[in-house]
Every structure is written in structure tokens, then in C-alpha cells.
Structure 1
Amino acid sequence: MKRKPLLFFVLFTTCMALLFTGESPFASAANLDNVRVALLIDNAAIPAVTVDSKTGIVVNDSSGLKLFEESANTTMRVSPDQSYLMVKTSDDLMDAQQVSQHLSQNQIKNEILKAGRSFQVIAGPYSNEVKLAADKNKIVQQMGYTPNTKGRLRLDLGAVGSLQSALDLAGQLTKGGIDAYPVILTVEGKIQHRVWVGNETSKDTLQDIQDSIHNRFPDLASRMTVANQNQPYILLKDSVYGSNTITHLFFSSQLTLILEQSNPGNNSGLTLVEKDNRSYRGKIEFSLYKGAHTVVNELPLEEYLYSVVGSEMAKGWPLEALKAQAILSRTRVTSAGLKYGIAHVTDTVNDQAYYGVKMEGEDTRQAVRETAGLVVTYQGKPIETLYYSNAGGQTAVGKEVWGNDLPYIQSVSSEDNAPEKSAIIWYHIATNDGKVGYVRSDFISLTTEKNAAGFSYGLVNTSDLNFRSGPGTASHQIMDKLAYGETVVILEQVREDNPYSWIAGPYSGIELQQMLKADRPIESLQVTERGPSGRVMEVKANGKTVQVKSPDAFRTLFKKGNTALRSTLFEIDQLGRFTIQSANAQQESSSGLPLYAVQDPAEQSVPILVNNMIALGNEQKVNVLTQNAAFLFRGNGYGHGMGLSQYGAKKMAENGYDYRQILSHYYQDITIE
């Protein structure tokens, strides 16, 4: 079974205190009934969250008071009641949609609100005034619109008898050209329904609205007061969602909003569109925490683990491996405390992956049930449950990763190479015009002919074949297209990048200069120290030691775009350097082309002006000689390498080991209880 990308991760955030201080930041594992998972915290990138439910949605406050409910097969949107930008108002939906699309293309979060017969394109809301100002300037300078800033100053038309009465009154005002909205407040544990008018930033514009109401709706004038924003409330607006109109709830900073399924028994969960349409068991809580829009999923511990095990490993993996993962994941979350103030963990690999109901399977639920309550301890305290995708054959000790060893984590062998065995074969090829790169082997038909150096020829058997810088599509760029029938030279065959083996680069000296912030292009790059598992602990560039906070930081240091090295278990091939051995056994090194060819001792030597030249080194290893220094990383493993290798656990389970044996292999002298 092909390994999912979500398994390729590095978990380190919670272990830093222990690794650098030698002291555990955790108390003993506590009984934890419910887990609070931050799905969105301190992040302005998702100002509004869209929630779907097949069974209906109940909206409560933190005391359990029911504020609002919508029926089955419903969608609603939720965001804090904060400042936003009114970009354009139009009576034409298509026009509004075009403006919305234009904003999205410029990476500005926006939506369309429906107000009577008009459509309002808004950007935001914004918890950060600096971000609001930056987007406003971008909209004016780059897009040509003139947005108005909208705020939270409003007029209150007083209490009405029901939500329907509030909807009716707000609709009457909106038809008259005045923005008005139903509001649900909680006052001393009871619900009030009111109608508020306006979204203003100054008392002057609020006065203009008040004058307008006096003129148009004189019977409402005596009811008007300035709305009290310093109380728990939700304000209801209509939002355009595809071809439908849905309710958008804007909640106040004083209110914690909790959404639940109307019928939670079917476990379909609430779906959050902006979280990759993932569905979650339990409650979804919305609040402002430290001024930022925060979304927390609260659910029972064991139900949380159903998904974590499937997210960190995969449904269909051997049961004993899933059990080992369940115990480690339980240990991690029960030891965390309220790490984020409002939540125990996040849903990301900074803690442990948690991707909702769809990652559950009957086997992941069984693994959790059959290990219920079990955690891993060392000398009575929870261990740091460090795990990762693939060890590359040998696990790491602490000094190879973050600098400090842990007594229960030693370097042990790990049978991880199954992903490499099943990976697609790619060919490392050379074209007739001197380009060197990689193509998938199934798009090349081998011939019986070979060149003078013994390399086989192949023919491209498809049109517009992507010719890449490395063996894979995820991180290797397309260098060129090859035509049907084109002849290429097969230099070697390699496996497609996989969790066990991979290639990164090649990176030019200038690219490495930028990565390392060096004062000149990198001409030499060498590994000068390795740890017990073979992982890189020191690198020298241009003869100088590269400074990093910890050895594991080499992975993110050698990063191009969003692609970092998968592990620190790597070799560096310097493509622009070669060694020539003369007839008298003396050796001479060179840092780049050209080579010089001499046809006759009496003739002057001439340079061979080819950008890429193929050379065979020791053990028939293929080397590409380049005009300038270039560096290729060849590595094994995926992740930091400390503790349990998930692929290693999978193989041990396939070989008949149980979860206790698996855990005791990767963590020494531990207790599982």
C-alpha cells in the first residue's frame, strides 16, 4: 500500500524543554476524559469558518444555553465580529462574484453578503489592524477599488419577542436601504432578540444612520439607543454560498460559541470547509483567544485517538503497529496539559496529526479500544513519545537531533525499506543535447544498443514526457519536455523518492549561498562529522563549519522553496568536482569543467566545452561533471529519527511482534501501564 504524504512528519515541539534542560515539562499521565484540539489558533489566514452538517446544527453558549438551531443538511458560517472592508456593493450578483474572485486571486480573504436586493463584497474580518491596513492599501493600489472600513458601532432598536420578529424587522429596514441585522444576546442566562443597525467606525456616520431612520422610519426613532458591544451576542447576516444563501454568525469577544450536531449519535460529525472539508466528532468551539479567532474541537479522549491513529499511520496497517501508535498518541496528549492555554494540542504534526472522522477505521478504533488507558512511562514519568515516518535503517540518539540524549532512546536498527522496494523505477538519463535528468522508466522503451561506455539507449514512448531534476513529481522541477521517439542514454536506474530513500537537488553554489547566507557562492560542501546512526552532525561549506542550533536543523537549512531535506541521514555529491589519476599514480582534483583533451603530444590541448559530462567513478558510480559547482543530496529516512519509526513498527508487526515488543525495541527500559 502506498504511504500517504501526511505520514511524513517531524514531531518535536513538545520535547524541546526536556532535550535542552534535561527536565521533564510534564507531570505524570493524568486521567483525561475530554481532549481539546486547536483546529485554528493565532492564525489570521482563516477569518471565517464554514460549517456543514447532515443532521443539523445546534448553537450554544459555554453554559449550554441554546442560542440558535438550523435543521438537517445545513451550512452556516462563523467568524468574530470585527472590523472588515466593504469593497463593493452591487445589485448584480455576477458583478459581485467577479469582484470576489479578483480579491481571491490576490490572496485576500473575502465573501459576499446579501442585504435586501444588494450584494456586498467584503474582505475580512480582521483581528489585526495592521493586516486590515495592508489589505486596504493593496486593494486600492493594485486592484483599483475604493474600500470603506466597517466597524462595530451600531444602533439598537430594542428587544423583540422572537427571532422571527427580529428577522422581519431587520428585513423591513434593509428593504429601505438601511443595513439591519437580527441579534441574539444572552442576559443573565436568558436569551434576548434584538435588531441592530449599521457597521460604523465613527459616531458621525452612526449619527447619519440615526437621522436616516428618523426620516424613513419615524415610528422606530423613540426605540433607538447606541448598541452595547460589551456583552455576549451573535449577529446574524446572510452570506452567499455558491447558489445558496446561508446564515453567517458574527460573535462578540465576550461570547464562546459552541456548535454541535443536532443528532450526534450517527458520528458523521460537523464538517469544516476551510479545514479541507474534514468532519469532526464532538463539539466545535469558537472564541477570541488573545485577540485571535480560535476554533477548538472538544471530544472524548478515546474518540480523538480513533482519528489520530489513522492520521499518523493508516487504516489497514497491522493491528499491533496501530496499537503501538495508539499508546504513544495517548501518552502524548495526556501528558501535554493545556499546552496552548485553551487547548491541549493542535491538529498538526507539531503535536500529532488529527484529521477527523474520515481517518478512522474499524481497525484504528479496535487498536484504541484494546489498549484503553495504556501509556508509556520511564521511571514513573511519561516518556517523550517521539516518532516519525522512517528511520532509514537506523534510529537516532538525541545528540544527533536536538543535542541532548534521552536515557530510553538509543540507536537501534529499523527495518524500514519496504517503501523503497515498492517505489516506481525512474531512469537517470542523458539527452542528445547534453541535458541530464530523470524520467519515469515506464515511459522509456529500452533498446538492445549500447554506447561506447556501455550505457544502454532508450526511446521515449509517449508524447511530451516530463524531464525532471530528480526522481519524483512532488519536489523535483520539470526541466524540459521530451518528444515521442527521442533517443536517450540510460545512466542508471533509481527508485522514486519514498520514505526510505530520496534525492534532493541538485543545488547550485549560488542557491546554497542563499540558503546558508554565505558571503560568496558555495564551491565545496562536505560532511565532516556523523553521529552513531550515521546522521550528519557537522557540515563545512567553503572550508568553514556551518553553524546550526542543532544537527536536525540541517534539514530546514538546506531548503529550496517549501522543500526541505527529509532527514539528516544523507550524503552530498559534489557534481562539479572530480579527481583525475595520472599514469604515474598521482591524483589531481578539479572543481569544475572544462576538461582538456590532447590528441597528440605536439598539439595544443583544447577544452571540452560540454556543460554536463558523464564520468564513471569507483564501483561504476555515475557522476555528472558540471561547468560550475553543484550539489546533490542522497538520503535515507523521513523525519528526525528519534524513537519509533512508523514503517519499522509496521514491519515488526508484519513479522509477528506485538505492540509491547515493538515499543520496547524503540524505547528502552520503559513501562507500559
Structure 2
Amino acid sequence: MRKVLVIGLLLTAVIYILPVFCGLLEQEEPLSIPQESVAADAEITESPPAEGEQTVTDESIVANGEITVLVDGEARTMKLEDYVVSVVAGEISPDFPTEAIRAQAVAARTYALYKQKTGRPAQHEEADVCDDPAHCAAFVDLKTEAAARWGEQADTAQDVIRQAVEDTAGQVLTYEGEPIVAVFSSAAGEKTERAVDVWGSDIPYLQSVDSPGGEACPKYYDAVVLTADEIRERAAKTLPSADLSGDPSGWFKASERSEAGGIVRMKFGGVEVKGTVMRTLLGLNSTNFTVKIDGNTLTFTTTGYGHGVGLSQWGAKYSAEQGQTYDEILAHYYPGTTLTTISTE
């Protein structure tokens, strides 16, 4: 549905505002975690489309097999499947179960195709997508970065990632015949967030669903400690109309939470502010937070890591460990969508 695609396009500038994948270490590329053991699935075989899956050749959703990517400021045209390999390498650990990696591959491919079809943004008019996870998605050039990323396990890690992409080659998620805005984040809370609660636009397939397993993420629970003066300094730049005089206990009023627990909007210094704005202002892992005030020291405790909409990577890990297949995982996190096979040649 074109309307849904247009609405979704408006979200892309903020979809990846903060890192989506939960790392065990702080890194410049926080969409990866150090590897302790990587095991490839030697029994993977190709299979025909499952029952309920479509094979589509309609011109409206068939890719031309290539995509232009802005990498380190340089526009590169490459095969779509090669791009998906680089995104999966940046977005999810090869240590995760195979079915979770396959789910990530489909989501990454779908999002790339969606971006390509909706037109190049002002941020990079020379390319369909970029390597900035704050705008599009993470990107790892395996030719130059694999060894530094995974050390002695680099070959095995690459094999796992490439196999997952190959197993799902050409598969995307569609809604009413169009590729969806297949957003994902590291670890949702007990439920995923609705798009309307995070970005203000209701997307039929981005609704709140149960998402167990996120608590395994090392950053699922986190705390940020700030002084009253630090908050005043930050707010002065982005929310100058907020009245942050007096005792901090009077700053936070009338918060509205989503079904998943995230703050949709709240009164901050007498000004109504969106939860996403507060998350950015305070440097929090999610909008699902509480505050404890001790004099001039404020402690913000968060649950979940990322915006929480769509696929939860740690939720996918848990689901795969419980025996679910990647198509079942995708159907759960993007309800009402269809797994579609397109031509990428």
C-alpha cells in the first residue's frame, strides 16, 4: 500500500537514531558483539518456497539486482545480496542461532529494497542507502574488516553469515504487494513497541507483540546517572522552553506509557515532550525508563535496548533456541506480512 510506504519513509530519518544491536563491549560500531564461539550449520540445504509463501515477478517489487551504497563517503554500486551480507555482519552476531541470522537477513534485505524503491533521501542523494546505522543500517566490508572484527574466527563467522543470506536469497517481506519498513532493534522489552507510539504513524504490521528473551542482552537493564545541572545544560540546547528551575522532583509530570511500557510522551519542565526526545536528550537505551531522584542526582533506569519496534534481535535468538524457524519468527514480529521471493538477477 503506497500510503503505508510514504508514511514509513517519513520514519527512516529517525528509525536508527541510536544503536540497535546490543554489544558486550563499547565500540565505535555498537552493532556487534565479541565472539567466543561460532558454529556453522553444515546441514543447511536449499528448499522451495514454503506453503503460504509467494514467488513474485511483478515489476513493482522486483529489484534490479544491484544497490548503490554510500560507504565511507563514497558511492558504491554492488549486488543486493552482497550488501545484505555486509549488513547482517554489522547487525547481528554470527554466534546467534542460524534461524535468527536468517530472519535478520530477510529483514535487512527487505529494508534495503524498501529504501531503494522509495527514493534516495537528501542525506545521500547519490546512493540508495548508507553505512551509517544512525540513518540506514550498519555495514561491514568483510574484505577489509573481518579479521579485525573476529580475529581467528573470521573465516567461520563469514561462512555463517554468507550461508544465512544464501539460504534466504531473494526473500523479502511484503504487505499488500509492497516491501515493508522492516525495522529492527536489539532487544525489545516484554513486548515490542507500536510504530505509532514511537514515531506517531500507525503501520499495520508494526504492532506490539510479545517478545521474550530480551533480558539475555547485557544491556537489557541499564542505568544513566546525571546531575541536575547536566540535565539543565542538555535541555537548554533542545528544549529551551522547559522550566528546570527549583527541585528536580517537580520536573517530571504526567507521563503516558505505551502498551509495551515505553514513554510515549510526558511533561518535562512544564513542556509536553515525546519519549523518543527524552531518550535522546538523556542518552538512554530505550524509552522504557523510570527516574529516581536523590537531591541533585537523578538515576534513569531503562528496560530494553533500542527503539523496540519490529524484529527484536535477542527475541529472535530466543525464539530460534525454542525451535522456531526464521519464517515463523518474521511472521510473529511483522504480523500480517507475506514472505515473498523476488528476482534479484
TM-score normalised to structure 1 length: 0.37
Q: Distance in 2 between matches of 1:569 and 1:371?
A: 33
- CA distance in 2 between counterparts of 1:665 and 1:641 reads 14
Larger Rg: 1
Give the equivalent residue in structure 1 for 2:38: none
- Matched residue, 1:640: 307
- 1:101-127 CA-to-partner distances (Å, cap 9, x unmatched) read xxxxxxxxxxxxxxxxxxxxxxxxxxx
**Quick one: which amino acid aligns to residue 570 of structure 1?**
F
Question: Match of 2:175?
Answer: 378
d(CA) in 2 for partners of 1:296 and 1:522? 51
What is aligned with 2:259? 532
Distance 1:672 1:370, change over 3 A: same
Query: Retained in 1: the 8 A contact 2:103–2:330?
Result: yes
In structure 1, C-alpha distance between the alignment counterparts of 2:231 and 2:78, rounded to whole Å: 46
1:320 to 99, 104, 111: 99
1:618-648 residue CA offsets vs partner (Å, 9 max, x unmatched): xxxxxxxxxxx32110111111111011110
CA distance in 1, matches of 2:214, 2:125: 40
Q: Pick from 494, 499, 516: which aligns with 2:219?
A: 499
Cα distance in structure 1, aligned partners of 2:127 and 2:80? 13
What SS class does the counterpart of residue 315 from structure 1 fall into?
Answer: coil
How do residues 174-189 of structure 1 correspond to structure 2 at under 5 angstroms? none
Question: Compared with structure 1, are the counterparts of its residues 669 and 375 closer, same or farther at alpha carbon in structure 2 (3 Å cutoff)?
Answer: same
In the alignment, residue 390 of structure 1 is paired with which amino acid? A
Secondary structure (helix, strand or coil) at the match of 1:401 reads: helix
Which of these residues, 388, 400, 403, is aligned with residue 197 of structure 2? 400
CA shift for structure 1 position 4: 5.8
1:547 aligns with 2:272: yes
Change beyond 3 A, Cα 1:28–1:632: farther
CA deviation after TM superposition for structure 1 residue 570, in Å: 0.6
Mapped to 2, the partners of 1:568 and 1:416 lie a distance apart of: 19
Distance 1:377 1:651 in 2: 24
Give the % identical residues: 34
Q: Is the 8 A contact 1:513 1:522 kept in 2?
A: no
- Count of residues in correspondence between the two structures: 265
Q: Which residue of 2 aligns with 1:557?
A: 281
SS in 1 for 2:199: coil
Offset of residue 8 of structure 1: 5.0
> Quick check: 1:33 aligned with 2:65?
yes
Does 1:413 find its partner at 2:139?
no
SS state of the match for residue 375, structure 1?
strand
One-letter identity of the residue aligned with 2:220: Y
Structure 2 contact 213–315 (Cα < 8 Å) conserved? yes
Query: Do the aligned partners of residues 329 and 4 (structure 1) sit closer, same or farther apart at CA in structure 2, a change above 3 Å counting?
Result: farther
Q: Which residue of structure 2 lines up, in the alignment, with residue 424 of structure 1?
A: none
Is the CA contact 2:102–2:165 (under 8 Å) kept in the aligned structure 1?
yes
Distance 1:387 1:630, change over 3 A: same
The alpha carbon displacement at 1:541 in A equals 3.5
Structure 2-normalised TM-score?
Answer: 0.71
Is the contact between residue 397 and residue 642 of structure 1 (CA under 8 Å) also seen in structure 2?
Answer: yes
CA RMSD, Structure 1 to Structure 2 (Å): 2.3
Aligned residue number for residue 110 of structure 1: none
Structure 1 Cα separation of the partners of residues 179 and 322 of structure 2:
28
Q: Does the C-alpha gap of structure 1 residues 530 and 649 become closer, same or farther in structure 2, counting only changes over 3 Å? A: same
CA contact (8 A) 2:205 2:337 kept: yes
**1:358-369 pair list within 5 angstroms:** 358=146, 361-369=158-166
CA distance in structure 1 between the partners assigned to 2:223 and 2:264 by the alignment: 19
Compute the displacement of 1:297 (Å): 2.6
Alignment check: 8 A CA contact 1:416 1:648 kept: yes
1:389 aligns with 2:186: yes
CA contact (8 A) 1:8 1:638 kept: no
Asked if 2 retains the 8 angstrom alpha-carbon contact of 1:392 and 1:501, the reply is no
Classify the secondary structure of the residue corresponding to 1:304.
helix
Report the AA paired with residue 343 of structure 1: A
Q: Match for 1:648: what amino acid? A: G
Q: Secondary structure at the match of 1:361?
A: helix
1: CA distance, partners of 2:166 / 2:25: 24
More helix by share: 2
- The answer to whether residue 132 in structure 2 is matched with residue 348 in structure 1 is yes
Cα distance change of structure 1 residues 522 and 347 upon mapping to structure 2, 3 Å threshold: farther
Question: 3-state SS of the aligned residue for 2:126?
Answer: coil
Read off the aligned partner of 1:566 and give its amino acid letter: N
| Corresponding residue for residue 661 of structure 1 | 328
Identify which of 297, 301, 306 aligns with 2:80. Answer: 301
In structure 1, distance between residues paired with 2:200 and 2:66:
34
**Structure 1 residues 511 and 298, CA gap change in structure 2 (3 angstroms):** same
The DSSP-based 3-state class of the residue aligned with 2:188 is coil
